Chain A
Amino acid sequence: MSRWEGDEVTENSAAARHRVVIVDDHEMFRAGVKHEIGPATAIVGEAGDVDEAVRVIGETLPDLVLLDVHLPGGGGTEVIRQVHVRHPEVKFLALSVSDVAEDVIGVIRAGARGYVTKSISGPELIEAIDRVATGDAVFSPRLAGFVLDAFSGSIDVASIDEDLDRLSARERDVLRLIARGYSYREIARELFISVKTVETHVSSVLRKLQLSNRHQLAQWANDRKLV
């Protein structure tokens, strides 16, 4: 990115720069993330464990928390649980090296609005932060794969909550394209829909993932020895 472009981004988004707290127990990783997203966001705090994170988030009330899944003191899910008791409006984007289905699904079901792996590039991370901070959801290809896996197959008819326990054909299409590595914009072009509609589908999947008691979700986790 040239200097001119960098300055442009900073100036244009100055008013909308999201206030971010970084929670990760690896200081070196925090420094790296700060370096990458620093120009595009306002980093208002950082923390290395659950207690510190809850305190810092409570003090700064950021637009978004970048949250490591594995943390001393109970992990990312514990941070979300404690923060959401008092501040349900704080949004979390999970950032993890783990990639284990249990961790990924677990942190989403705890209330995170997105999940990306730590190998994500700087510009992609900034885009993901912007998306989650403005109320949308972010799925990495792997998370999309997990969700497709978890919602696949036939389901116990008696337990069907049609609204929550099944993905619509369109949602499935969107998830498959995410899993194939498509960006929201590319998905919109592919399916002849607007980016806004893609975002709506993804948010809807997120809601189902968080609220569904679908038998298969538990069964699937069980099969993979994740519970």
Chain B
Amino acid sequence: MSAAKRVQQWATFARSWHIFDCKWQDPYESAHVIKKYLMGMHKPIYHPMNDCGDVVVCINSREIALRGDEWRKRAYFHHTGYPGGASWTLAWELHNKDPTMIIKKAVYRAMTGNLQRRHTMQRLFIYPGENVPEDVLQNVTNQIRQIRYVPKRLDHIPEEEVKNYPKVMEYPEDFVVK
């Protein structure tokens, strides 16, 4: 090894595995975060031609949240190639058919199109629920921070905790709750 490359620590050819919980996350926003890890853009040694991307495991893709009424408005276009082969599938229809497809397409579209994109996509694992195969889960070493805070639903909090929660005031006896 030459003296100039003595301290070169470009690791490593090892891929680290990240896990991302898609619960209540916008797939189009989180795609940009996932893309960063898939392509290796979170490392200062990044270069489009060096293979430094990591593996990302997405869980809970069934629980994604789309903005506004995008479930009804957003359409996914497909063309078979034959005349009259065009079809538009709404986001909710696609999600019912395959709960992993929306996040997959979002990540695919977030990356710039080149020959590497399909190989990079091979490193993305998406699971609709929390059940991840053991051989995948045992590699995971890092969790990607969620973009959005997942609030706790009132009906998921135990009733005792709700009752014992400190109150600012009590409603008067004759107050009518709408």
Does A pair with B?
Answer: no
